[in-house]
Amino acid sequence: MNLTFPLPTLTGLGIYNSDSISRARGSVSNPRTTVWYELELPTDDGGTSFIDGAEFPIRRDHLLCIHPGQERYTRFPFRCYYVHFSAEGELCGMLDNLPPRIQMSDVKHAERLFHDIINAAGGSDEDKLIIHSRLLELIWLIRADSRRTSVTSFPDSELIAAALDYIDRHIDQPITLESLAASQHVSPVYFHRLFKNAVGVTPYRFILDKKLSIAKNQLLMTSKSCLDIALGLGFTSQSYFNYTFRKEVGVSPLQYRKRWYMKYPE
C-alpha cells in the first residue's frame, strides 16, 4: 500500500486586490487559460468569476478551485488570497474531482492556512515545510467541504442529509440499499440514483468506505479483536470482514495492524 505522492510545486501566491491596479467596478479581466491549479479565497463579497462559461458570484465563504486548462475571467471587484501550484499523480486525481466553487464550513480556518502559506513564502527549509503542510491541509479541508457542498446544493438535499445521518446512526449494523431507501420512504432505484448524483459514489461504496475507515482506526488505536470490530460494524462474520478488508485494502486486518505497529522503532 503506497501512501506517498509527489508534493505540489508552488507557482504563485499572495493577495490579489483589483482596486490596487485601478480596475473599475464592473469591468472584467482579460480571458485566459489556466496553466496551474488555482485556489482562491475571496476576502469579501462582490464581483463574479466566469469559469468555462459558467457564472459564479464571488462570496467570502466560497473558495474557487480552478483546474489547469480551464478558461476563466473575472468581473470586478475582486479581492482574494490565492495559491497557484502544479501537482502530479494521485494528488491530481484528488484535485480534478473538485467542483469550481466550494462553500467553506470554516472560513477562518481556511484564512489561517492561506496566511501561513503566504507568510512562509521565500523562507528557509522549515518555511517550505510549513507551506507544504498547510497546502495539503487546505486541500484536505476543501475535499471535505466539497462533498458537503454537493449534498447541500442538491435539489433533494434534505433527503440525502437524512440518509447520511441514518448511516451514521446505524453504522454498527448491516445497511442495505433497501433499508436505506425505506428509511427515506422512496424506492431503492430512485434513492440509488439520487444518492450517487449528490454524493458522487453509490450508497454501497460510501457505506463500505466508512466502515473500513472506522475499522482501520480501531485496528491501530484499540486492542479490539478482529471479531469484535467485525461485529461492531455490522459484518455478518469475521471471515466476511477479513475477506472484504483484504479485497479493498490489499492485506488482512491483522497484517494491517502489524504493518503499522512495525513502523515504530523499538
pLDDT tens, position by position, 47-72? 999 998 888 899 999 999 999 999 99
Last residue of a domain, one of 152, 173, 198: 152
| Residue 187 CB neighbour total at 10 angstroms | 12
Q: Calculate mean pLDDT across residues 206-232.
A: 91
Domain termination residue (choose one: 152, 167, 186): 152
Same domain, 64 and 120: yes
User: pTM of the entire structure?
Assistant: 0.59
Band of the pLDDT at 1, cuts 50, 70, 90?
very low
pLDDT score of 89: 84
Per-range mean pLDDT, top range of 21-35, 113-127, 148-162, 226-240: 226-240
CATH of the domain at 46: 2.60.120.280
Q: Is residue 2 part of a domain?
A: no
CA-CA distance, 250 to 92, in Å (whole number)?
Answer: 23
Look at the block and give the residue holding cell 491541509. 137
Could you tell me the residue range of the domain that residue 184 belongs to? 157-262
| Residue 228 placed within a domain | yes
The stretch 66-86 carries a mean pLDDT of 94
Mean of pLDDT values over 89-94: 84
For residue 1, is it within any domain? no
pLDDT of residue 200: 75
Phi, psi of 158 (to 5 degrees): -65, -40
Residue 199 has pLDDT above 50, yes or no: yes
Q: Which residue is it, cell 495559491? A: 83
Residue 227: predicted pLDDT: 96
pLDDT higher than threshold 70 for residue 186: yes
Same domain, 145 and 30: yes
Residues 127 and 200 in one domain: no
Higher pLDDT, 193 or 26: 193
Res 266 pLDDT > 50 = no
Together in a domain, 16 and 146: yes
Q: Is pLDDT above 70 for 24?
A: no
**What's the 3-state SS for 24-54?**
CCCCECCCEECCCEEEEEECCCCCEEEECCE
Better-scored residue on pLDDT, 89 or 187: 187
Which of 127, 152, 177 corresponds to the end of one domain?
A: 152
* Residue 150 predicted with pLDDT over 60: no
**Structural domain includes residue 3:** no
pLDDT of residue 152: 53
Q: 220 and 138, same structural domain?
A: no
Q: Look at the alpha carbons of 65, 67, 73, 79 in this order and tell me if their dihedral is positive or negative.
A: positive
Of 162 and 20, the structure prediction assigns the larger pLDDT to 162
Nearest CA-CA partner of 214 in 192, 231, 237, 239: 231
Q: Based on the structure, what is the number of domains in the chain?
A: 2
CATH number for the domain that contains residue 164: 1.10.10.60
What phi, psi does 222 have (nearest 5°)? Answer: -135, 170
> CA–CA separation, 261 vs 88, rounded Å?
30
